[in-house]
Structure 1
Amino acid sequence: MTSSEGRHHHRPMLPGDRAIEASSGSVDPAELAEAADRAATLLVRGAHDSTDVGVADRLLHLADTEGIETIAEVWASSPGDSLAGCLWRLYLLRSWVYADPEGVARQYDAGRARAQVARVVAGVADPPGPEDLKAMIDQVLRGIAESDFADVLFRAAAFARVVAAGRADQPGVSDEQVSRMLALAEQLEAAGHAELSHGLA
C-alpha cells in the first residue's frame, strides 16, 4: 500500500476505540513498530483474559470499523512471528474471503483432495459454500478471544494450505499467487508452533 505525501498517519487503537489520526509530520518507524506491538498484545492477550462477551464481536469486526488500510498501516510490516504480524495476516485472510467468497470456495473445494489433513483442521463444511467459508473465517477470528491463540493460527494456516493446493488447478491463477498463499500458510503454522513453545510477543 502506498501513501501520498502529507497524508495523516494512524496510530494503533486501543481495543474498542477508533484509530486516532496523528498530527501531520514524520513518524519514527521504531516508535510505530513498538506501538503496533503493544496494540497487538493488548488485543490478543487482553481479549483472551476479558470477561466482556462483546470482545469477540469487536475483534471480528475491527477491520470493518477501522478499515483494512488502517490495520495495514499499523501491522503490515510486522514479522510473521509476532502478534502484530499474525493479526495482520488473519485480518488480510478474512478481508480476502469476504471480497470474493465464491472464488475462494472454488479454490478451497479444488484443494480438499490434495490437502486432506489441512481440510480437517480448517473445519469447513463439506462441500464448502461461500457462506460456509465466511462463517469459518469469522469463527477463526472469534477464537482470538474465545480459544487458544495457537489454535486460531493453526486453523487459519490449514485453511490457507487447502486454498494454495486448490489454486494450482484454477485457470488464470499464477504460480506466484499459489506461492504467496502457501507462504501465508507456512507463516501462520510456524507462528502457531512459536505460540505453543514460548508465546508470541
Structure 2
Amino acid sequence: MSREHARPILQPTEDFDWIIGSDEPGAAHRLAHETSWALLDRVRSVADPEVVDRVVGIATQEGIDDIAELWSHADARSLAGVLWRLYLLRQVAAVNPAAIADLFSRGLEAAVTIDPVVAGAAEPVTPDSMVDLCTTILRGVYAGDLTAALNRAASYCRLMSLGAAALADDRDAHDDAHAAELTQRSLRYSAFAEELHAAAVRWRDGTLD
C-alpha cells in the first residue's frame, strides 16, 4: 500500500529538537506522520531481510529514544502511533522477559477465544520465546501482511491483559498496591489491543493516517 506524502530524510535527534519544541501548530504531528510513512514505505519497498533486521533492531538500541521522541505522542489512529506501540511492546518484552512470559502464560490459561492461535506463541512459553514473538510481530509490519501483524499484536495484548488481570486477582488478598498496579497494566494492554485491532482495519481499508 502506498501513500501520497512527502518522503523526508530521517534526521537525528539534535536536528529536529526545534521541531518537537516548536510552537508551530502541527509541526510535531507532521514530522511523526512523514517519518513513519517514509520508513515503512522505504523498508517494504526494498524487501531486504538485512534492512528489516536493522529497523526492527532499533528497539534494542539507543535509537528507541529517537523513536519515542518522534512517535510516542502520536495518535493511535496514525501509523506513527501504531509503530510506537509495537516498538514499545518489543522493548518491554526485552527488558523483563520473565515477567512477560508469566503474564502471557496466565493469559493463555484464561483465554476462551482464538487469541492464542492468532498470537502464535511457541510452546512452551519462555522468556526467550516472548522476545522472539514480539520481534516476529514487529518484523511482520515491515516484511509481511501488515493487517495480520497488527491483528496478531492485538491478540498478544488481549492475552497479556488477561494475564495481568489474573495475577491481580491472585495478589488482591496479599498486596493491594501491587494488585492495583496489575489491574492498571491489564487495562493498558486491553486499550492497546483495541487500538491495534482498529489500526488493522484502517490499514486494510486504506484509512490509516
How would you bin the TM-score normalised by the shorter chain? 0.7 to 0.9
When residues 60 and 173 of structure 1 are mapped into structure 2, their CA distance, relative to the original with a 3 A threshold, is farther
Distance across 1 between alignment mates of 2:101 and 2:46: 34
Q: CA shift at 1:53, angstroms?
A: 3.0
Q: CA shift at 1:29, angstroms?
A: 5.2
Q: CA shift at 1:145, angstroms?
A: 2.0
Tell me whether 1:87 sits opposite 2:74 in the alignment: no
Q: Which residue pairs with 2:200 in the alignment?
A: 192
Q: Deviations over 1:107-164 (max 9, x none)?
A: 0000113224111101101231101111111111111221021111111111111010
Give me the identity figure in percent: 32
Distance across 1 between alignment mates of 2:148 and 2:39: 16
Letter in 2 for 1:122: A
Query: Which has the larger displacement, 64-73 or 24-33?
Result: 24-33
Letter in 2 for 1:84: A
What is the total number of aligned residue pairs between the two structures? Answer: 187
Q: Which residue pairs with 2:3 in the alignment?
A: none
SS at match of 2:73: coil
SS at match of 1:151: helix
Contact 2:47 2:143 (8 Å CA) reproduced: no
SS at match of 2:77: coil
Q: Which residue pairs with 2:185 in the alignment?
A: 177
Which residue, out of 96, 116, 119, partners 1:119? Answer: 116
Query: Which has the larger displacement, 142-151 or 66-75?
Result: 66-75
RMSD: 2.0
Q: TM-score under structure 1 normalisation?
A: 0.85
Distance across 1 between alignment mates of 2:144 and 2:154: 16
When residues 141 and 158 of structure 1 are mapped into structure 2, their CA distance, relative to the original with a 3 A threshold, is same
When residues 198 and 24 of structure 1 are mapped into structure 2, their CA distance, relative to the original with a 3 A threshold, is closer
Query: Which has the larger displacement, 43-52 or 30-39?
Result: 43-52
Map of 1:18-29 to 2, 5 A cutoff?
A: 19-22=12-15, 26-27=21-22, 28=24
Tell me whether 1:31 sits opposite 2:27 in the alignment: yes
Distance across 2 between alignment mates of 1:199 and 1:151: 16
Contact 1:161 1:185 (8 Å CA) reproduced: yes
Q: Which residue pairs with 1:56 in the alignment?
A: 52
Q: Which has the higher helix share?
A: 2
Letter in 2 for 1:164: S
Q: TM-score under structure 2 normalisation?
A: 0.82
Q: Which residue pairs with 1:168 in the alignment?
A: 165
Contact 2:101 2:130 (8 Å CA) reproduced: yes
Distance across 2 between alignment mates of 1:79 and 1:24: 20
Specify every segment of 5 or more residues in structure 1 that has no aligned partner in the other structure, as ranges: 1-11
Specify every segment of 5 or more residues in structure 2 that has no aligned partner in the other structure, as ranges: 1-7, 172-177
